[in-house]
Amino acid sequence: MSPATTKITLPNGTSYEQPTGLFINNEFVSGSSKNKIEVTDPNTGKSIIEVEAASVEDVDRAVAAARAAFEGDWSSVPAIQRGALLYKLADLVARDRELLAAIDAFDNGKPYGDALAVDLDEAINVFRYYAGWADKIFGKTIETSPEKLAYILQEPLGVCAQIIPWNFPMMILAWKVAPAIACGNSVIVKPAEQTPLSALYFGKLVQEAEAPAGLINILPGHGGEAGAALAGHLDVDKVSFTGSTATGRNIMRAASSNLKNVTLECGGKSPLIVFADANLEQAVKWSHVGGLFNQGEVCTSTSRIYVEDSIYDKFVELFVKEVKAASKVGAPFDDGTFQGPQVSRAQFDKVMKYIDIGKQEGAKVEMGGSKVEGDGYFIQPTIFTNVEEGMKIMTEEIFGPVVAIGRFTDEKDAIRKANNSSYGLAAAVFTENMRKGHKVAAKLAAGMVWINSSGDSHFGIPFGGYKSSGIGKDLGPYALDSYTQAKAVHVNLGVDL
């Protein structure tokens, strides 16, 4: 029995029909259990809607559908047609761009303008980028001797499980679905239980694009059940996960069931280094965006700031002034909102706990440090100064609007402090001396380094980290390697035994 859709009226006045079922084999279907996911509006703390929560049995159904699609007609579809499907999906997402952005703003709590100009525009570009790649994924021949022909086939992996985080729901769905489909795989998407609505709506676009049945499946569900079942499933060939490092470790353990291919984009505690010769005004503005954009719910957030001693006090003064002026806290659909609510009560409580820890550890609260009065999960943008190396607010990922600022004495000290972390996702360096900038960037243990900016990624450039920040890369041509495998073929042209 197909579950009914539910009419939702968004705060901006837009009404639409929201699917609430599991999307399997190109149909919205009821789950095999009575489990539901309650979706909450973080702006008010009130329930929005309930959607189906996938069980282990539902995971089995989706995997079977994805396997049948991969081994059926999809395996013989010309590459140019794979690209055509992705172009069609890009056009449909572009058509419904404003609605999808509004859904994510409502469901996640992020400012609508950011959801529109950052998340949705990126998603559209990613679908188009990989649509262009679909017929350009090929192998090669390797010269060995006149008696032998050797060539390499670049083949799809098969059934790919893709576990999406709640901070950029539609954007990261595109990051994962588009390259996997371009390479010829089938996929099962598990959106975060906090933000399943835009992914389910995307299922309607998959239907409208007339994608082959079972090619793209969407399973809202709880991580401990549906996510674990996907990661450990013996008929899943790959799992791609974006989320916390702790969950990434659990996924890696589960994926060992059949040694499936794994891509993990996990947590970070990214440093931002400001040298005395930096353009201080620009360093302050980029530090604000790099540390507090998207409510601080960004894996690459440069929330761990190190400033050279001689300009420390001046930087703090200007930074506090910038944050007070530019970090307007408000509802996602209010004009001028820079910071919305945290995504959930659990995330709100986690951030507030870290703020309390920072106070107890002796760091100075330059501004913020409290809940915003009223409904919803709003936290004041918070700046800690005089933060020492061992403090938890300097070493652990908070994932909220909290920035910690410490000092360094010289270049060597800055590099040592920046690398003193179990994470290695991103880093930023501010200096007007480009020789110094390149030198420091080369010595930072991070998968991404910005010089005189922070957080400005691009879909054509690989995204991923070192150390506990993950394995493998999203985006750019590097993501294609994550969704293909090389097969060597040896042809004997005349050697007799």
The residues carrying an active-site annotation are: 265
Closest CA to 369 of 323, 302, 410: 323
Q: Which of 371, 370, 252, 381 is nearest to 329 (CA)?
A: 381
On the CB side of 13, CA atoms within 13 Å amount to 1
DSSP summary character for residue 476: T
Helices (H), 267-374: 280-292, 312-326, 345-361
**C-alpha dihedral (219, 225, 230, 232), degrees to nearest 10:** 180
- Cα within 13 Å of Cα(78), Cβ side: 3
3-class secondary-structure state, position 371: strand
**Chain centroid, CA 58 distance in Å:** 25
Alpha-helical (H) ranges within 109-244 are 112-114, 121-133, 169-182, 197-208, 228-232
- Reduce the DSSP state of residue 150 to 3 states and report it: strand
Enumerate residues 6+ apart whose C-beta is below 8 A from 19: 3, 5, 28, 200, 201, 203, 204
CA 291 to chain centre: 16
How far apart, in Å, are the Cα atoms of 56 and each of 138, 224, 250?
36, 10, 17
Return the structure tokens found at 458: 């691009």
Q: Which two tokens mark 308?
A: 């050279």
With beta carbons less than 8 A apart as the criterion, state whether 462 and 476 touch: yes
Q: Of 74, 76, 53, 243, which is closest to residue 162 (Cα–Cα)?
A: 243
Residue 274 CA to residue 284 CA, distance in Å, equals 9
Contact 429, 407 (CB under 8 A): no
DSSP character at residue 223: I
Q: How many CB atoms sit inside 10 A of residue 149's CB? A: 15
